[in-house]
Amino acid sequence: GGMTCASCAARIEKKLNRMEGVEATVNYATEKAKVSYAGPVGVGDLIATVEATGYTAREPEPPRTGPEAVAGDDADARAEEELRPLRQRL
């Protein structure tokens, strides 16, 4: 399942940072984690740790490059466009 509160993000971040060679930050608003890791830890270990905490996780898709990449098809730009009207309402 997804995160429902800031303490969920903190719980996941704490579990990931307890792993040897892992440095993680979890953003509740985007429901994403930024993880740097080294040593014996792999992506499967990171996902298993998140899932053992009661949440779902998956490896992000690699960015598209080359001729198949479309200019302006950036996920961050799309998200910003979607959020702009909401911010203006606040």
Total domains, the chain: 1
Q: What is the pLDDT of residue 3?
A: 80
pLDDT at 24: 95
> Residue 90 above 60 pLDDT?
no
- Domain with residue 34: its CATH number is 3.30.70.100
Residue 87 and residue 67: Cα distance in Å, rounded? 34
With respect to residue 56, please indicate whether it lies within any of the assigned structural domains.
yes
With a CB cutoff of 8 Å and minimum separation 6, the contacts of 52 are: 15
- Which structural domain range is residue 23 located in? 6-63
The predicted model scores a pTM of 0.67
Average pLDDT (43-48) is 94
pLDDT for 68 beyond 60: no
**74 within a domain of the structure (yes/no):** no
| CA–CA distance, 90 with 86 (Å, rounded to integer) | 7
Within-domain flag for 81: no
Average pLDDT of span 4-29 = 93
Structure tokens belonging to residue 89? 């309402």
Say if 57 falls within a structural domain: yes
pLDDT at position 89, please? 47
Does 30 fall in a domain?
A: yes
